[in-house]
């Protein structure tokens, strides 16, 4: 059975105090910490890399680090991310695959001791993950174009979430991009159970209240 999982994106935290903000998210009830890893090539932005992940792991030994790899060659990142302490490695199916394809990449992620997920850009359909789903721990449906926080939620991606939920009823389905208490009901009604939120949490004067509201939406949908 799937459960509600709230994963605040530290891309919107105070980067000068990332360890403190991360600990605060856990204290406020967050389940995971979402780390957006960007290489400046797959997406135009640059963000966290293995040294930041390793530092955060050292400061937050028990936190589940949910790492979203927006990189052109994810296979090159498996070893460094595992060594840094990542718990989950989510790669884009649109990125360059190693020899053996996505199945080989998923196997290497799991062999390195991490959970494996595939992310889908808004223009990529649900069928793209069909042959890999049995090997995955999570599917991430992007509800904005990947690369920058603060974008508007794309409600037209909810049909994709519905399709994935119908096909894989026990899969963790994550949505990322523009999620807030105002938009989350659309995502949870479609079947998402893992909610990433960035500016909605870190830009709020009531961060715990936002986390609680996101969880309440997932829980309501799961119980209906």
End-to-end C-alpha distance for the chain, whole angstroms: 14
221 is in an annotated binding site: no
Q: Is 64 helix (H, G, I), strand (E, B) or coil?
A: strand
Examine the residue annotation and report whether 206 is marked as an active-site residue of this protein: no
Of residues 59, 116, 103, the one with CA closest to residue 84? 59
Query: Which one from 21, 39, 66, 176 is the annotated catalytic residue?
Result: 176
φ/ψ of 153, rounded to 5, equals -60, 130
Identify the CA nearest to 187 among candidates 150, 141, 224: 141
**Among the options 36, 39, 66, 137, which is catalytic?**
36
Does 89 carry a binding-site annotation? no
9 is in an annotated binding site: yes
Residue 70 pairs in a beta bridge with 38
Whether residue 92 is annotated as binding a ligand: the answer is no
- Tell me whether residue 14 is annotated as binding: no
- Asked whether residue 199 is marked as a ligand-binding residue, the answer is yes
Helix (DSSP H) and strand (DSSP E) numbers for the chain: 8, 8
Contact assessment for residue 101 and residue 68, using Cβ atoms and an 8 Å cutoff? no
> Is residue 68 annotated as involved in ligand binding?
yes
**Does residue 8 contact residue 198 with C-beta atoms inside 8 Å?**
yes
- The answer to whether 159 is annotated as binding is no
Active site residue 176: yes
* 146 contact partners, CB below 8 Å, separation of at least 6: 42, 43, 70, 92, 119, 121, 177
Evaluate whether 176 touches 143 at the Cβ level (below 8 Å).
Answer: yes
Known binding residues are 9, 34, 36, 68, 147-150, 176, 178, 198-199
Q: What residues act catalytically?
A: 36, 176
Known binding residues for substrate are 9, 68, 147-150, 178, 198-199
């Amino acid at each position: 059975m799937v459960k509600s999982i709230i994963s605040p994106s530290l891309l919107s935290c105070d980067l000068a105090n990332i360890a403190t903000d991360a600990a605060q998210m856990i204290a406020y009830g967050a389940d995971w910490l979402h780390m957006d890893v960007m290489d400046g090539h797959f997406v135009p932005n640059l963000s966290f890399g293995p040294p930041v992940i390793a530092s955060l792991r050292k400061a937050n030994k028990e936190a589940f680090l949910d790492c979203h790899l927006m990189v052109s060659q994810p296979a090159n990142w498996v070893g460094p991310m595992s060594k840094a302490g990542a718990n989950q490695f989510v790669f884009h199916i649109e990125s360059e695959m190693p020899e053996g394809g996505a199945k080989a990449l998923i196997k290497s992620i799991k062999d390195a001791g991490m959970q494996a997920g595939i992310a889908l850009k808004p223009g990529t359909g649900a069928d793209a993950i069909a042959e890999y789903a049995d090997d995955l721990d999570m599917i991430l449906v992007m509800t904005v174009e990947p690369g920058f926080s603060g974008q508007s939620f794309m409600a037209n991606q909810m049909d994709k979430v519905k399709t994935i939920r119908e096909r894989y009823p026990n899969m963790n389905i994550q949505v990322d991009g523009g999620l807030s208490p105002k938009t989350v009901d659309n995502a949870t009604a479609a079947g998402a159970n893992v909610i990433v939120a960035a500016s909605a949490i870190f830009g709020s004067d009531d961060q715990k209240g936002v986390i609680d509201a996101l969880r309440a939406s997932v829980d309501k949908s799961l119980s209906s």
